[in-house]
Structure 1
Amino acid sequence: MTGLHERHLAVSPEWLALYYRHPLELTHGEGRHVWDADGNRYLDFFGGILTTMTAHALPEVTKAVAEQAGRIIHSSTLYLNRPMVEMAERIATLSGIPDARVFFTTSGTEANDTALLLATAYRRSNQILAMRNSYHGRSFSTVSITGNQAWSPTSLSPLQTLYVHGGVRSRGPYAELSDERFIQACVADLEDLLGHTRQPAALIAEPVQGVGGFTSPPDGLFAAFREVLDRHGVLWISDEVQTGWGRTGDHFWGWQAHAEHGPPDILTFAKGIGNGMSVGGVVARAEVMNCLDANSISTFGGSPITMAASLANLSYLLEHDLQGNARRVGGLLIERLRGVTAASPAVREVRGRGLMIGIELVKPGTDEADPEAAAAVLEAARASGLLLGKGGGHNTSVLRIAPPLTLTVAEAEEGAAILADALHAAG
């Protein structure tokens, strides 16, 4: 155990998890690579939990941060803030939500917490619909709507949460149905649920479940849900903390795979837009955003320095068509991974879209999750210079792959080869 690891254990909560038997101290990064304190170089396929969206040490972002830091770092929302207004204008346009208003926070948790406040205040209801296997943050309100036991440490909550089928396509009671019948069954479940409860304020859903193991429903499910929700006066909150900004390749926002009836009522975002800076936010039409009748500010949300970073990062992403790169390189990577894992009895499924890919591991010959195998593959991949993530329900048996969106074809091939060897080594 390193001295830094010992110091960490002495002052940190026991529930503050670290990856690896011998945890890494990352000291610097460049592009899609990072280095540890011992000088080892790694290809980063997790991006600080999908947060380093474009690249490590992207010159355009570091320059924007340095220049803004030289002027003023902080002022709060009590003063006019030009970078914040400029960023809000861009996000309002990109969101697809008419007459949009934008409120900045410092994290996805805080963004989802704000969305819940808006929805419950607007609809005058403390009931929330959420998806099974979901994850929405670590605040008191967001753990109470998280449908993933491993990340919800308490059942105490100011909200009444009801869970809906549909977030996991290949497990559960509807797994064997066709996509069309799967959607029909989930819609029927939603209709039945709404017939047995008072009017909920909102449904919150990740278009692709992140911590849940990069699972997703068939395209169109949330459009079908929207018809039911609108009929019952229930808002739709799309949690885009992990799916936003083009990561899925096919779309800029995850909700656009379900776009038949237009954008969500509320959209939340965070992680990648700051490329490592603490940025989150909420977008909603003015009627919903302005429903609060009490004062509110954000001390750190939308700070000049985080907005400068986000503006530079968003400009780079759009100018270099990183959504298109996610589609092209991500498509190649997922097919390569399916090829190298096809003969492995431990791999149940390779799924995902764009540069958001999950590999679900099971005990060979069964459908039982194998978290020990996932941990072993993580260790073996690290030993060969590749960093991965984990997730997938309460068993964390899914390898999560989400590199920066500038990933090259050569790096995708390199990562797939290392992963194939790691799966073999882990046995």
Structure 2
Amino acid sequence: MAHRELLARHRAVMPNWMALYYDEPIEIASASGRRVTDREGRTYLDFFAGILTNAVGYDVAEINDALRAQIDRGVLHTSTLYLIESQVRLAERIAGLSGIPDAKVFFTNSGTEANETALMLATRYRRSDQVLALRNSYHGRAFATVAITGNRGWSASSLSPVRVSWVHGGYRYRSPFRDLSDEDYVAACVADLRDVLETTTAGDVACMIVEPIQGVGGFAVPPDGLFREFKTVLDEHGVLLVSDEVQTGWGRTGEHFWGIGAHGVVPDAMTFAKGLGNGLAIGGVVAGPDLMDCLTANSISTFGGNPLSTAGALATLDYLLDHDLQANAAKLGDRLISGLRDVAERHRVVGDVRGKGLMVAVELVGPDGEPDRAAAAGVLGGTRERGLLVGRGGLHGNVIRLAPPMTLTGDEVDEALGALAPAIEAVDR
């Protein structure tokens, strides 16, 4: 069956609002390592990893063996009404890695559900429905997470179960404070936070939720230390800090295992998903016992932390740590960013190259620095023609996102640059 026929069937039965990449979308039919092959037989180097989810790559023997062993036991699901050894073991590992004292873990099926859970815990604990969020943020597609998403392109409804106040800081490139030094930028954002607390809230705010690097927002990177200074202010008011590590967790930023580590602060809670499952559906929240245990009603997760997903996640976590993929992300991320900055010097259409580790963005702009959405679409299609799959995002849809599996090699970085450079040159013409 050709892609065109499958696309027609897709459009007949799937919602119109489900986004697809490319004018002629593709199905990925098989994969190995960092390469994927579509149903028509063309192979690509994958630099988006299923939206940062295939953190270790494809067809990894150690993960496959763990999944087969669990399948052979005949138990794919029991629910959290029963003990699950792999769930407990995974929770113990994550609690220890979190840095949160005496941490506890609750597993979900996705990052959206993890962030919904964190909001429920924080609002219940603080007895408040007020939440602080960052402009240009994205936290999921459910009712409360849409409400705290500061990007109109991903906000499907104005209705909300929480009252949100918006704070500057996450997206520096188009910030009114962009021309300030790091120190002055942080000071301006802290002053904005104080002003927001004093003017748009009743004071008893439940939490602030932040992405250490804004994902859907275009891999926007704030100065290191910003969230440490934010937490100083939050602590004055008893406001909890929740770090959304759905995209920045598991060493992807290279510098730290969790993205928030760049800010020298331990949050009150962290949410996670994506890379932990290497393609399996798993997410969760890790928090201190007072916050995690604050619910007084019964609650379970039918599928969260199921035996298959947790067995696979344990194998993924072992692989990440045993092969020090965080260090690999740091080394090859520097190589990728350096190569892209060389390209940027030759092409006016590149307004910004930013990122950390293997979480890298290229923001494309017009002659006066305005967002150039068409240029991003051109690079998206141009890299595909050259055998490279990349992502796209940003508030204005003008950012190319690069987040390959963390098992990436140096030769593959050079191969990707060899596809990106002519694709960027073509749109610059």
- TM over 0.5: same fold? yes
Q: Report the equivalent of 1:266.
A: 269
Runs (4+) of structure 1 exceeding 4 A deviation are: none
Cα offsets for 1:273-292 (capped at 9, x unmatched): 00000010000000000000
The answer to whether residue 281 in structure 2 is matched with residue 305 in structure 1 is no
Correspondence for 1:224: 229
1:275-328: CA deviations, max 9, x gaps?
000010000000000000000000000000000100000000000000000000
1:245-394 alignment runs, 5 A limit: 245-259=250-264, 262-363=265-366, 365-393=367-395
Q: Where in structure 1 are there 5+ consecutive unaligned residues?
A: none
Is 1:157 the equivalent of 2:163?
no
Offset of residue 425 of structure 1: 2.4
Residue 131 of structure 2 corresponds to residue 117 of structure 1: no
Corresponding residue number in structure 1 for 2:187: 184
What CA distance in whole angstroms lies between the structure 2 residues aligned with 1:151 and 1:106?
20
Q: Which residue of 1 aligns with 2:33?
A: 31
Cα deviation code 1:167-221 (max 9, x no counterpart): 0122121111111000001101111111122121000000000000000210000
SS in 1 for 2:120: helix
Choose the corresponding residue for 1:9, options 11, 15, 21.
Answer: 11
CA offset at residue 415 of structure 1?
0.1
Is 1:402 matched with 2:389? no
Distance (whole Å) between structure 2 residues aligned to residue 81 and residue 153 of structure 1: 37
Q: How many residues align?
A: 423
Distance in 1 (alpha carbons) for counterparts of 2:316 and 2:290 = 30
Amino acid in the other structure paired with 1:189: D
- Counterpart of 1:96 (choices 91, 99, 102) is 99
TM-score by length of 1: 0.98
Tell me which residue corresponds to 1:194. Answer: 197
The Cα shift of 1:341 comes to 2.4
Cα deviation digits, residues 337-359 of structure 1 (max 9, x gap): 11122111110000001000000
Which of 237, 244, 250 is the matching residue for 2:249? 244
Which of 9, 18, 32 lines up with 2:20 in the alignment?
18
- 1:213 aligned to 209, 218, 227, which one? 218
- C-alpha offsets along residues 352-396 of structure 1, whole Å, 9 cap, x if unaligned? 010000000011x21111111111111111011000000111x21
Cα distance in structure 2, aligned partners of 1:173 and 1:378: 29
d(CA) in 1 for partners of 2:155 and 2:52?
A: 21
Letter in 1 for 2:49: G
Q: Partner letter of residue 249 of structure 1? A: G
Match for residue 136 of structure 1? 139
Does the residue aligned with 2:186 lie in a helix, a strand or coil? helix
Question: What residue identity is the alignment partner of 1:293?
Answer: T
Per the alignment, residue 59 of structure 1 pairs with 61
Secondary structure at 2:77 match in 1: coil
C-alpha separation in 2, matches of 1:98 and 1:142: 26
Aligned pair 1:420/2:421, yes or no? Answer: yes
Counterpart Cα distance in 1 of 2:230 and 2:237 = 11
SS at structure 2 position matched to 1:342:
helix
Q: Determine the C-alpha separation between the residues in 2 that align with 1:183 and 1:380.
A: 37
Counterparts of 1:293 and 1:153 in 2: how far apart (Å)?
31
Aligned AA (1:292): L
User: SS at 2:249's partner residue?
Assistant: coil
Partner of residue 176, structure 2: 173
CA distance in 1, matches of 2:423, 2:344: 11
Moved more, 298-307 or 56-65: 56-65
Determine the structure 2 residue equivalent to 1:204. 209
The one-letter code matched in structure 2 to 1:284 is A
Q: Distance in 2 between matches of 1:295 and 1:70?
A: 33
- Per-residue deviation at 1:66? 1.3
For 1:224-248, what per-residue CA distance to the aligned partner results, in whole angstroms no more than 9, with x for missing partners?
A: 0000000001000000000000000
CA distance, structure 1, for counterparts of residue 145 and residue 319 of structure 2: 32
Q: 2:112 is paired with a residue of what secondary structure?
A: helix
Residues 1:146 and 2:149 are matched in the alignment: yes
Question: Within 2, Cα distance between the matches of 1:52 and 1:339?
Answer: 28
Structure 2 spans left out of the alignment, 5+ residues:
none
Residue type at the aligned position of 1:266: A
Q: Normalising to structure 2: TM-score of the pair?
A: 0.98
